[in-house]
Amino acid sequence: MDPSYSRTAILMNQDPNGEICMVSSSLIYFKTGFYSLINKIIDADRIIISSPCQLLVFQLLIFRRKIILDAGWPLSDSNLDSSKRTFRKIKNLVIDYFSFQLSPVILTESTQQSEYISSKFGVKSTKLKVSFTGVLEKRFSEIKKIERRKKPKIVLFRGKNNDEAGISKILILAKYLDQDIKVLIVSNRICRNWEIPSNVDIVEEFISDQKIREIYAEASISIGQLGNSERLSRTIPHKFFESFYFGVPYLTPNYPSLMQFMKEGELPKLILYSTEPKYIADSINRLLRNEKILRTIELDMRKQYQKHMSNQNIFTHYSLKILEN
């Protein structure tokens, strides 16, 4: 299991009786500790293998225990934007295919992801179960809470600098925002040749959990992915869960994987039906001019979070999916 994978962290954190034994992903390379853990694996009823450790499926089959592959999504998805890594693409496709075929139970992040895996890799739909990845609440619950600021109005965008994220659209739409609205971009890097509008601030560094809380405390609106990649129709970005956890209105295109959460109360007002920058800017301006609607949306988001995305909810459903198989 990989502790950096949020659902793994949730599983370990919510395990009150210590019934779950974590096996390091270093087993893939037969590093130190493999043989010391054999007895624990033999004693286990089930083995959970979390992303991105799909190679462990092949190694742990010898123990003849029921394997639950907590894949979330295909490994081959990570290379969709790369045209120069053909070998890696093929390798990940092969790993995906055989790990999916050999695993009796596969957990995915969304219904759409399950449908995609079933169709692309010929996997029986009965093997596929949905369990949301979520955000580890413990990361933020032990940090001092920060009061939300009312001014200035800040639009937050957290994402990588690639076409799928859509940073270039953020820089364009910033020019159409009301004068009292600022944009904060938190990214791995920004192209220095781009024109950065005066109302845009950029953070290009690793940020701590404390800083993440501070950023969301200041944000009036969070913006989701803005690309046209097919993958976005079936994935649920981590910042989606973050925004719902912090109660920051999350403006997103109508990707099918997210629409199940956007139906209640005033949440449909957060759905974008175009990713054209001027349209997005007009939507932001309209929302930020109506404080009453924003407060109602925040309450609706918190209700949805507790209903579907809380760590306890994810753990309960996750456990049931494991125990019922």
How many whole angstroms separate alpha carbon 52 and alpha carbon 288? 39
How many whole angstroms separate alpha carbon 233 and alpha carbon 113? 9
Question: Any idea where the domains of the chain sit in the sequence?
Answer: 6-137+311-323, 139-309
How many whole angstroms separate alpha carbon 48 and alpha carbon 23? 9
pTM of the model: 0.87
pLDDT digits (tens, 9 = 90+) for 184-240: 999 877 766 778 899 999 988 788 888 888 899 899 999 999 998 899 999 999 999
How many whole angstroms separate alpha carbon 222 and alpha carbon 161? 17
Please check whether the domain covering 6-137+311-323 is classified as CATH 3.40.50.2000: yes
Q: 6-137+311-323 and 139-309: same fold? A: yes
Q: What's 309's DSSP letter? A: I
Bond from prior residue into 152 cis (ω within 30 degrees of 0)? yes
Structural contact between residues 251 and 228, judged by C-beta atoms closer than 8 angstroms:
no
Report angle CA 202, 208, 213 to the nearest 5 degrees.
Answer: 80
**pLDDT per residue rounded down to tens, the chain (325 residues):** 555 567 777 776 766 555 555 555 544 444 445 565 666 666 667 778 887 778 878 877 777 677 888 899 999 987 555 555 778 888 999 999 999 999 999 999 999 999 999 999 999 999 999 989 899 888 887 655 555 555 679 999 998 887 788 888 999 999 999 999 999 999 877 766 778 899 999 988 788 888 888 899 899 999 999 998 899 999 999 999 999 999 999 999 999 999 999 998 999 999 999 999 999 999 999 999 999 999 999 999 999 999 999 998 988 887 776 666 6
In the CATH scheme, what is the homologous superfamily, with its name and number, of domain 139-309?
Glycogen Phosphorylase B; (3.40.50.2000)
Residues 6+ apart with CB under 8 A from 188: 160, 161, 204
Partners of 157 in the β-ladder:
185, 223
